[in-house]
Amino acid sequence: MKRAPMVAVVHCLGGSALKDGIVREELPHDCSAILELHPDGIRLCSYGCLGGGSCESVCRKGAIKVSDEGVAHVDRELCVGCGLCAKACPQHLIEIVPTDNAIQPLCASADKGPATRKACSTGCIACGMCERVCPADAIHVIDGHAQIMQERCVACGMCATKCPRSVIHDAHGIFTVAF
């Protein structure tokens, strides 16, 4: 049986501002080095992408880039799902999934909803709307953020369209509007 093609997913949208006194241009270009200097992270959300580019530097296909805002983004067309970026991420924000697992929650915060709301404009607030609308019981709020059990997901997109913070994304762009 042939293995499904894989792709990297970054579970952070980068809606959290940098902490006071941190200047992105002055940070090392290595996420582990950033964590040594700032063990609680550099953003108001301590779970967020550090933007040091460790993932980008190990990607042999040029499929992952750190944006000007300091958040890693994956080009699904270039990514081969090798997993090097996931191993390089000290925040454990990158997951390697089958390409047909298009519905993904893009937040890894373990904070409670009010703390996440205060720290990040795009973080999961654990409201449970995704759980309530999922006909397959495939998505649950665990450790403060939405997580999908891909083996149960039918890719209907209800969770993506109903998420009030637009945390849940459809990589194919079919279900993109929150109501």
Q: Quick one: pLDDT at residue 77?
A: 96
pLDDT band at 173 (very low <50, low <70, confident <90, very high): confident
Q: 80 in helix, strand or coil?
A: coil
Q: How far apart are CA 123 and CA 106, in angstroms?
A: 8
CATH class of residue range 6-98: alpha beta
Q: What is the CATH number of domain 103-170?
A: 3.30.70.20
Percentage of the chain exceeding pLDDT 70: 97
What does pLDDT average to over the chain?
Answer: 94
CATH 3.30.70.20 domain range(s) in the chain: 6-98, 103-170
The model's pLDDT over 65-93, given as tens digits with 9 standing for 90+, comes to 999 999 999 999 999 999 999 999 999 99
Amino acid identity for residue 170 in this structure: D
The model's pLDDT over 141-165, given as tens digits with 9 standing for 90+, comes to 999 999 999 999 999 999 999 999 9
**Helix (H) and strand (E) counts for the chain?**
6, 8
